[in-house]
Amino acid sequence: MRAAAVFALSAGVTVPAVIHAPAAHADWTNTSGMTRDDGRYRLYLPANALWIKVSVLASTAPGAAVLASTEELTTDSSAWDTDAPITLPAGTAFGDYPVRVDYRLPGETTKKWTGGTYSFRPHIGVSGLSWNRATTSYDQRQAVLSGTTTLWDPATGTRTSAPQGTKVALKLNTYATNNYGTITATATTRADGTFSLPVTPNGTVQGGTATVVTAGTVNDPDAEVYVPSLGVDPLLYRISANVNKYRVLAGTNVQVSGHVERYTPSGWKPFAGAPVVGTGHRAELQRLDRGERPGRRHLLRDRHLHVRRRSSPSPAPVPSGSRASTPGSSP
């Protein structure tokens, strides 16, 4: 805190008086900025700023010409955005240009910040992502992810379809039977800027991201967009089984036979090739045969059979006597 000593003169009498000046505000040190995907400039300054002017310069050289400037900004309480894209003179080459910000905060003099750049480049991005189905199933394990790419030209202010052959990088987050995974792929756009990518997730898709690959171009990529989730329909199946013996001597084989069916839109159908896993519990009985050593026999008390699942999410609840699996289940 600083104070200023001032002497007051009144009626020829000199009276020393001390008057406290307003507290000095510490300089704001967290200023930063970025070019938004629509060409506006976003500036991080306190929301109570009294005045802001954003200027785009021709270069970083001292006395460089001002290509464009604006004082029309609006705050959302966390940052300031120019009300419109910054338009540079016709014929200005694409590139990154230095930004100078003049601003004044309450209790301060006008300050200057020169740490930012304005990206005067075509902005290219992804939009309209969607799946061709809401879920996959045992019979329909593949889904197609589609979207479109657009290109915004800062010189004209128009947004058009991205050129044919634009690459889109995709990252999908999958989940199946307590296992999380990631699918990465690249799609290529058609003449109208759209693209499609067949995906076999073998489970659910729990989001992901998509962004345009801009390496080797003058384009500036838009922020990544999020891939919508993709569900999975549980596989409903049922098993009927029997054994050829119920009481056997220890070490004697028991043959288990049965029938497996899965539920389809047209009803219950044979589940060909399904790998069946069986488990059993046995109760041990002993008896004495007239002085002979105790003979051991086994009683097959309970039988449990299920279809082995591979790479599939947890089954959904199903009616008693049936079991559920998922598209990840392979016969």
For residues 88, 91, 93, 99, the Cα torsion angle rounded to the nearest 10 degrees is -20
Closest CA to 219 of 171, 164, 169, 166: 166
Q: Token pair for residue 162?
A: 């991205």
Average pLDDT over residues 256-273: 86
Confidence tier at 295 by pLDDT (50, 70, 90): very low
Q: What is the pLDDT of residue 28?
A: 67
For residue 27, what pLDDT band results from cuts at 50, 70 and 90?
A: low
Q: What is the pLDDT of residues 79-97, one digit of tens each?
A: 999 999 999 999 999 999 9
| Residue 161 β-bridge partners | 150
E strand or H helix at 129, and its extent?
strand 123-131
Distance (Å, rounded) from C-alpha 220 to C-alpha 121? 6
| Among 117, 49, 46, residue whose Cα is nearest residue 86 | 117
**What six digits make up the tokens of 223?**
């922020």
Contact call for residues 37 and 78 (beta carbons, < 8 A)? no
pLDDT for the residue numbered 75: 96
Provide the pLDDT confidence category of residue 305 given band limits of 50, 70 and 90.
Answer: low
Q: What is the CA radius of gyration of the chain?
A: 37
CA 60 to CA 105: how far, in whole Å?
Answer: 25
Distance from C-alpha of 262 to C-alpha of 256, rounded to nearest angstrom: 20
DSSP three-state, residue 16: strand
For the cut 70, the answer to whether the pLDDT of residue 1 exceeds it is no
pLDDT at residue 266, rounded to an integer: 87
Q: What are phi and psi of 205, to 5 degrees?
A: -105, 115
The mean pLDDT of 155-159, rounded to a whole number, is: 92
* Average predicted confidence (pLDDT) for the chain: 80
Cα separation, 97 vs 215, whole angstroms:
20
How far is the CA of 168 from the CAs of 36, 129, 142, in angstroms? 20, 12, 20
Predicted pLDDT at 306:
56
The residues, any chain, with a CB within 8 Å of residue 321's CB and separated by 6 or more, are 238
Q: Please say if the pLDDT value at position 287 is more than 80.
A: no
**How many other C-beta atoms are found inside a 10 Å radius of the C-beta of residue 266?**
6
Candidates 81, 45, 53, 91; CA nearest to 69 is 53
Residues ≥6 apart with Cβ < 8 Å to 88: 56, 67, 68, 97, 120, 154, 155
Residue 254 or residue 110, greater confidence: 110
Is the pLDDT at 174 greater than 80, yes or no? yes
Instruction: Say which residues have a Cβ less than 8 Å from residue 251's Cβ, sequence separation at least 6.
Output: none
Buried/exposed code over 120-158 (b: 16+ C-beta within 10 A; e: otherwise):
bbbbbbbeebebeeeebbbeebebebebbbbbbebeeee
SS3 breakdown of the chain: % helix, strand, coil, rounded to 5? 0, 55, 45
For the segment 60-64, the average pLDDT, to the nearest whole number, is 93
For the chain, what percent of residues have pLDDT higher than 90? 56
Q: Is the pLDDT of residue 52 over 90?
A: yes
For the stretch 210-255, pLDDT in tens is: 999 998 889 999 999 999 999 999 888 888 888 777 677 777 787 8
Residue with the two structure tokens 């910040």? 113
Q: What average pLDDT does this structure show over 256-267?
A: 86
